[in-house]
Structure 1
Amino acid sequence: MNWITPMEPINCNTVKEDSEYIHEIKWDGIRGLVYLLNGQLNIYTKKGNTRTVFYPELDVIYDEFKSNDIILDGEIIVLDKNGIPSFYNSLVRESVKSIKNLKYYQDNYPINYIVFDILKYRDELLTNYPLQQRRQLLEQLLSSLVNKNNIIYLSEIYTDGKELFEKMKQKNMEGIVSKKINSMYLQGKQHDAWFKTKFTKRMLCIIGGVIWKYGEANSLILGIKANEDKKINYIGKASLGLKGSDLKLLKEYRDKLIQEECPFSESSIKCLNTKENELTWISPLITCWISYLELSNDGHLRHPKILGFTSLPAEEANGKVLTD
C-alpha cells in the first residue's frame, strides 16, 4: 500500500470570501482515512496508525464497494447528548485498545463518519484531479450508501463562508474549512488551497496541581471531571494569564491546598512534563476559566490562557466547550 499523507488545512484568522472557494463545517473529531484495496478494508488515523478493528461500523463501506478499490478521507465524530460533535467523546472512543471492551464503547460512544474527499477509485489515483471533479465523483458514489444508513454522511458544501462561520459559532462548533474548488489533493500543509478558520474556545477547568519555580506558582495543572470517576482527567497546563493576585493567593494558601494523592487519573497524567520543577498536588476544588485555540489529538489544550479563578463547583467542570 502506498500511503497518501493527508492534506491539512492551514490556520487562517479570516474567512476566505473569494468565489473560487467552497466552505465546509470543520468537524471536531478524529481524522479517518478508509482504504479499501484488493478486497481488504483498513482504517487509518491522520498519522497512519491502523484502527480497523476498533471501528466495525465502517464495514458498511466494504459492503457497498467490495472489490472496487476506493480511498476516502473524512472525520470520525462522536456526538454529545445535545447532538454536537464532542472531541472529548471522540478521544474516548479512539482510546479503545481491547476488542473485549469494544461493545461498551460502540453503545456509549457511537460514531458517524463524515466523508469530504475521495483519493482513489478503482485503478485511478485522483489526487491530481481538481476538488470539484473529485467531489462530483464522491457524491455519485456515496449517494446510495448515505441514503441507507445513519453512520456515513457526506460533508455539505456551502458557498457563503461568512454566513456559515456565524452559524457554526452560534451552534458552538469548531469552525469552518475553506477550499479552492479547483485544488488538487496536496499532501500535508505545503499548499495555499485549504484553510481553517476557528473560534476561540472557553472551558471551565479544575486546578489539580501547581508547578512552582523559584518559590512562585509557574503553571497550573488542569483537568475536567467528565464522568463519575473520583479522579479528574488531565487536559493540560497553563501559565499565561496568571495575575499577581492569583500568584499571591496560591502562595498564601499553598499549605492548606496541598495533598499527597494525585487527583488525576493515572492514564491521563502520565505524559505530564514538569521540566524538573517542583510539583505539588492540590485538592481538586478550585476552578478557573481557560481560553484555548483547540484540543490536540491526545485531548490537551493548545495555546491555553487563564482567564480567571471562579467560585463555580468542580462538578460543573465537565468538559463543556463555549465559543467566543
Structure 2
Amino acid sequence: MRNVRERLKFIKPLEPIQVETPPVSDDWLHEIKYDGFRTQLIRDWAGVRAFSRNGHDWSQRYWPIVTAAEKLPAESFIIDGEMIAPDPDGRPNFHEMHSRMTWNAELLAFVAFDLLYLNGEHVRVLPLIERKAKLWDLIKPAKGIIQYSDHVDGNGAAFFEGVEKMGLEGMVSKRRTSSYRSGKQDFWVKTKCWEVGTFELWGVKREPGKPAVGIVARDGKYAGSPTITLPKQLRDRLE
C-alpha cells in the first residue's frame, strides 16, 4: 500500500537543445528565455518547496515566492519556471540574482512556464498547450511575484527579431503538442541573441566534460560568461 503521507518528488527538468535559428512552422510556440535560475515549485500535503535545477531545496532562499505559492488554489502541484530578478521595466537582471537571494528575496519573481502535476494528476503527459492553459487557470492573474510566461504561436523569425531588439537573452521554442520529458529534448529548442564587441577577459572557468567559459567585462563591469569557441592552440594559451 502506498504511503498517503509520501511527499511529491522533484522531477528532473526538460532541457532545450540550442539552435542557430528558431523554427518557423506553425506547430511551434515561442517564449522569452528568462535569464535567471531554473526553479521547480512543489506543493503537497506538507506545503510548498522550491528546488533548484539540480534538485537542491532552496525554499529558504526563495521564501517570498514559497509564501505566495501557498495561496494558489490547488491541493498539490509541480510548476516549472525561472526565478528572476526583474528590473523596474520587467526585464530580468541576472547580475542582481545573488544579491537579492541574500538580502532582498522579496524583489525576486518566479516566471512559470509549465505545469507537471496538478491535484493528483501527472499532467506532463498532456500536450504543452493544454498544460499551459491549466497553468494559467492556476496562477492568474500572474502579475505579481508569481508571473506567467506568455507565448506567441508560429512566426519564430519575427519573434526572435523582437527579442533581439529588446536586448533580451534569447527565446525558447516548444512544440505545441509535446509532452514533458526530463533531460535534453529536441521538441524544445533555444535560440540565443549574440552581442558582438570588445570585452576584457577576467578569467576562464573550466569544468570536466564542458566547454571552457570566459568571465568577461566591459568598462570594468562584469558582462557575462560566454562559451569560448577558439582553435585548440589558442584555448591552450588561456590555461
Tell whether 2:24 aligns with 1:30.
no
Q: Distance in 1 between matches of 2:14 and 2:126?
A: 14
Once the two structures are TM-superposed, the CA of residue 93 in structure 1 deviates from its matched residue by: 3.3
Partner Cα distance (2:222, 2:129) in 1: 40
**Could you tell me whether the CA contact under 8 Å between 1:39 and 1:69 is conserved in 2?**
no
Matched residues in 1 for 2:51 and 2:174: separation? 23
- Alpha-carbon distance in structure 1 between the residues aligned to 2:82 and 2:12: 15
Contact 1:80 1:89 in 2 (8 A): no
Aligned length: 211
Equivalent position SS for 2:180: coil
The 1:71–1:83 alpha-carbon spacing in structure 2 relative to 1, beyond 3 Å, is closer
User: Residue 166 of structure 1: SS of its match in structure 2?
Assistant: helix
Provide closer, same or farther for how the CA distance between residues 6 and 170 of structure 1 changes in structure 2, counting only shifts above 3 A.
same
Note if 1:138 corresponds to 2:135. Answer: yes
CA RMSD of aligned residues (A): 2.8
Q: For the pair shown, which has the larger CA radius of gyration, 1 or 2?
A: 1
**1:269-288 maps to which residues of 2 (within 5 A)?**
none
Residue 315 of structure 1: aligned partner: none
State the partner residue of 1:169: 164
Cα separation, partners in 2 of 1:141 and 1:56, compared to 1, 3 Å: same
Match of 1:105 in 2: 104
Identify the residue that residue 17 of structure 2 maps to in structure 1: 10
In structure 1, give the amino acid aligned to 2:151: I
CA 1:113–1:290 in structure 2 vs 1: closer, same or farther (change >3 Å)?
closer
- 2: CA distance between counterparts of 1:78 and 1:203? 25
Residue 81 (structure 1) shift: 6.0
Would you say the 8 A contact 1:28–1:87 is kept in 2? yes
1:186 is matched with which residue: 172, 181, 185? 181
Alignment correspondent of 2:73: 65
| Alignment-derived partner of residue 303 in structure 1 | 228
Counterpart code for 2:129: Q
Please say if 1:127 is aligned against 2:119: no
**74-83 or 6-15, which deviates more:** 74-83
Q: Which residues of structure 2 form unaligned runs of 5+?
A: 1-7, 208-217, 231-239
Structure 1 segments of 4+ aligned residues over 4 angstroms from their partners: 202-206, 286-291
Is the contact between residue 204 and residue 287 of structure 1 (CA under 8 Å) also seen in structure 2?
A: no
Distance 2:21 2:182 in 1: 23
Aligned-pair distance for 1:288? 9.0
- 1:243-262 matched pairs, under 5 angstroms: none
Range that drifts further, 193-202 or 166-175: 193-202
Unaligned runs of 5+ in 1: 97-103, 207-219, 223-235, 238-270, 274-285, 306-324
1: CA distance, partners of 2:189 / 2:14: 11
Q: Which residue does the alignment assign to 1:316?
A: none
CA offsets per residue over residues 205-258 of structure 1, 9 Å max, x none?
Answer: 55xxxxxxxxxxxxx5x1xxxxxxxxxxxxx42xxxxxxxxxxxxxxxxxxxxx
C-alpha contact (below 8 Å) 1:78/1:87 kept by paired residues: yes
Amino acid at match of 1:195: V
SS of equivalent to 1:23: strand
Q: Note the alpha carbon deviations across 1:252-297, whole angstroms, 9 max, x for none.
A: xxxxxxxxxxxxxxxxxxx789xxxxxxxxxxxx969999xxx5xx
Instruction: With the length of structure 2 as denominator, give the TM-score of the two structures.
Output: 0.78
Pick closer, same or farther for the CA change 1:35–1:203 going to 2, 3 Å.
farther
Q: Alpha-carbon deviations, 1:107-151, whole Å to 9, x = none? A: 6xx11111000000011011211111111111112215x25xx21
Code of the aligned partner of 2:180: Y
Structure 2 residue aligned with 1:157: 151
Change over 3 Å in CA distance of 1:79–1:2 after alignment to 2: closer
Matched-pair contact (CA < 8 Å) for 1:41–1:62:
yes
Instruction: Please tell me whether the aligned partners of residues 79 and 117 of structure 2 are also in contact (alpha carbons under 8 angstroms).
Output: yes
- In 1, the alpha carbon distance for the partners of 2:229 and 2:118 equals 42
Distance 1:76 1:304 in 2: 29
Q: Which has the higher contact order (CA 8 A, sep 6+)?
A: 2
Residue 194 of structure 2 corresponds to residue 200 of structure 1: yes
Are 1:290 and 1:304, in contact at CA under 8 Å, matched by a contact in 2? no
C-alpha displacement of 1:304: 6.7
